[in-house]
Structure 1
Amino acid sequence: MKRLFPAPLLSVSLFVLWLLLNLSISPGNLLLAAVLATLAPVLMTPLRPQHAHVRRPLVVARLIGRVGLDVLHSNLLVARSVLMAGRRSPRSAFVHIPLALRDAHGLAALSMITTVVPGTVWSELALDRSVLLLHVFDLEDEAAFIEHFKHTYERPLMEIFE
């Protein structure tokens, strides 16, 4: 059964998504949805060599809530910086953040978080995955920013994936 449906949740999601996008439950669309839901995960399995093992689901929920609050807070700070640009220019800077997180899934989640939070314009992960270079729109205290980033995002991701 695992060979036919290596990712059952993905199969169900693809099936439902196909029907929703086509706005039809005709026999042809049901057949195409079933074929897509069956074949796509099987064909994509070699592209994902390791499976994610999510630990501590409550930490996941807290992290999602924290990211949501940070998105709102950062939006307000960026808006304030833009509106007050005539009085004080934003102090943008590149920040090197040393990483202890090594799990590929955790690093992927960290990269998604950094792209969602406003004020982080650009990022780059070192080839050895030890340092994240992050461009910050308005930086007041680099050490405080690094500590906040590691405590707020990296530590929970380490609890979840490592």
Structure 2
Amino acid sequence: MTTTVHPSLWQRARRPVLSVLLALAWLMLQQSIDPGNLLTACVLGWGLPRLLTGFLGPAAQPRAWGRAVRLAFTVLWDIVVSNLTVARLVLHPRSAPQPAWVRVPLTLKQPTAQALLASIITMTPGTVSAVIDEDQACIWVHALDCDDAAGVAADIDRRYQQPLMEIFG
């Protein structure tokens, strides 16, 4: 007979990255590292992830940190380039953007990775992820200017979805 060991609330609630980010966010918002703010940051960083365990779901475990860093730089670069492109579209008097809905097939299975893909798309100016359609295994993206929907879908897959698959497995 085998026994199953269930993790305690303490073990399930450990999210060190979230704890550190919460503490740093508190300190940045307060713009002070006096002892009171340091104590508050530690309490928030330790307590909030444990208090919200039931709402957060299982923690995602990235497998390729180097790939995650490269993806972050790719996203930052794309945000800068897209800002310039959208500014040109909006400010140029003769521009005629062609908005379109783009269906991007989802190969990501993990919910955290899917949510991250939707967030990346939305953070990039000129595109907004509207719906993750689980029945059709796709994400619907609205593009401000799109003359090649298949090309946009392939670009999203190559630049964001494939790296996320490497990161989250």
What amino acid sits opposite 1:125 in the alignment? I
State the Cα distance separating 1:63 from its structure 2 match. Answer: 0.9
- Partner residue of 2:113? 106
Q: Paired residue for 1:89, among 85, 96, 114?
A: 96
Question: Distance in 2 between the 1:91 and 1:9 partners?
Answer: 41
Q: Aligned partners of 2:131, 2:46: CA distance in 1, in Å?
A: 36
Provide the TM-score with structure 2 as the length reference.
Answer: 0.79
Deviation for aligned residue 1:91: 0.4
CA contact (8 A) 2:118 2:129 kept: no
Unpaired segments ≥5 residues, structure 1: none
Q: State how far apart, in whole Å, the 2-side matches of 1:66 and 1:106 are.
A: 16
Match of 1:131 in 2: 138
Map of 1:70 onto structure 2: 78
Matched, 1:23 2:32: yes
Tell me if the contact between 1:92 and 1:135 (Cα under 8 Å) persists in the aligned partners.
yes
**d(CA) in 2 for partners of 1:46 and 1:113?**
25
Larger displacement relative to structure 2 (92-101 or 117-126) = 117-126
Runs of 4+ in 1 over 2 A off after TM superposition: 7-20, 22-26, 28-39
Comparing 44-53 and 16-25, the one that deviates more: 16-25
**CA separation in 2, counterparts of 1:97 and 1:131?**
5
Aligned residue type for 1:114: I
- Which among 145, 151, 164 is matched to residue 144 of structure 1? 151
How far apart, CA to CA, are the structure 1 residues paired with 2:24 and 2:152? 42
- State the 1:70 CA deviation: 1.1
Tell me the CA shift for residue 19 of structure 1.
4.9
Deviation at 1:36, TM superposition (A): 3.1
Once residues 22 and 73 of structure 1 are traced to their aligned partners in structure 2, the CA distance between those partners, rounded to angstroms, is 31
RMSD over aligned Cα, in angstroms?
Answer: 2.6
TM-score after normalising by structure 1 = 0.82
Q: Contact 2:103–2:138 at 8 Å: present in 1 too?
A: yes
Number of corresponding residues: 160
Summarize deviations over 1:102-134 as a string: whole Å, max 9, x none.
111111211110111110145211143711111
Contact 2:117 2:161 in 1 (8 A): yes
Cα 1:25–1:132, aligned 2, differ >3 Å: closer, same or farther?
same
Identity of aligned residues (%): 36
Contact 2:97–2:144 (CA under 8 A) maintained in structure 1? yes
Residue 40 of structure 1 pairs with residue 51 of structure 2: no
Distance 1:53 1:126 in 2: 24
Does the CA-based 8 Å contact 1:14-1:36 persist in structure 2? yes
Q: Deviations over 1:62-91 (max 9, x none)?
A: 11111111112111211221233x424100
Q: What is the rounded CA distance, in whole Å, between the counterparts of 1:69 and 1:19 in structure 2?
A: 28
